[in-house]
Amino acid sequence: MKDFPYTEKKDTRSGFGAGLLELGRTNPNVVGLCADLTGSLKMDAFQKEFPERFFQVGIAEANMIGLAAGMTIGGKIPFTGTFANFSTGRVYDQIRQSVAYSGKNVKICASHAGLTLGEDGATHQILEDLGMMRMLPHMTVINPCDYNQTKAATIAIAEHEGPVYLRFGRPVIPNFTPADQKFEIGKALMLNEGTDVSIFATGHLVWKAILAGHILAEKGINAEIINIHTIKPLDTEAILKSVAKTGCVVTAEEHNRFGGLGDAVAQVLISNNPVPQEYVAVNDTFGESGTPDQLMEKYGLTENDIVAAVERAISRKKA
């Protein structure tokens, strides 16, 4: 099992803030909009350096999406920022009608996604957002795994024409991907080649998958681990190539088991190469208040849960 050394832990939302600031310095058409959470979204450096290109709309998320859609008509590239729950659930109608339906070039950037929002609890956590957004025609859906990848993704989506949903979070996690990486939308990343099982992970669960890979190696199980940072468009070629070799699958995501990465992968498999698949995801429930680590443990999103899912998947393989 390959090692992934790192020297620091960082939050992925700070990767978004760093990427947005770099875009501000290189692309005069990039503008920022925020719904009263500038510090939480790490948009404050962009606001300070480019006050004429930053719009604080207050607690009016639906208005923010409408403003962003309108700005694209004048050639601007708006990046909207608020918590993932308010970026999707609160404004789904506005996104559907004003952004996705007309293919507007809006970048919907969402922090504090999943359970790791922690103590704020179920009303602020969202576990349905990937499913909601991937169902929208024209929408690209991206869920990077660490600070460096989030920064690179933020920069990359400015060059992509069309609406994008970019998901990231609050907790500090290992920053292990290259600082100089080039982010390629829709291209999965091989982290560890293996022969016994394919682990497809996204977001914060990528690092958990790496930890699981080391535990599995000690058990004599050779896991192939792939970082699926783009949920839509999905890298079906990478998925099918991996599964043809391993014969079984585990998907890992900080999301409801319905509608997210697991279902996206299952749709590919059922049409091409049905194999045993196990989900590591929240089992059709809302979250609750607690520390991120407590919640990940309670809702079955740890490296040990991935290991158990791998063992179940392997046991279902045809001899």
Please spell the DSSP secondary structure of 139-177, one letter per residue. -EEE---SHHHHHHHHHHHTTS-S-EEEE--SSEEE--S
0.95 surpassed by pTM: yes
Which residue in the block uniquely carries the two structure tokens 């996705």?
Answer: 100
* Three-point CA angle 126, 203, 270, nearest 5°: 90
In angstroms, rounded to a whole number, what is the distance separating the alpha carbons of residues 168 and 159? 19
Give the pLDDT confidence of 184-227 residue by residue, as tens digits.
Answer: 999 999 999 999 999 999 999 999 999 999 999 999 999 999 99
Find the DSSP H helices in 52-189: 61-73, 84-88, 92-94, 129-134, 147-157
CB atoms within 10 A of CB 2: 13
Count of positions (residues) in the chain? 319
| Mean pLDDT, the chain, integer | 97
For 6-33, what is the mean pLDDT? 98
Q: Chain-centre distance of CA 32, in angstroms?
A: 20
| pLDDT tier at 318, thresholds 50, 70, 90 | confident
In angstroms, rounded to a whole number, what is the distance separating the alpha carbons of residues 46 and 54? 8
* Catalytic member of 8, 22, 52, 61: 61
224 is catalytic: no
For 45-54, what is the mean pLDDT? 98
H or E element that contains 111:
strand 107-111
Q: In Å, how far are 109, 113, 124, 169 from 83, measured between CA atoms?
A: 8, 7, 8, 9
Give me the residues paired with residue 141 across strands: 165, 232
In angstroms, rounded to a whole number, what is the distance separating the alpha carbons of residues 26 and 4? 31
Q: Is the pLDDT of residue 111 over 70?
A: yes
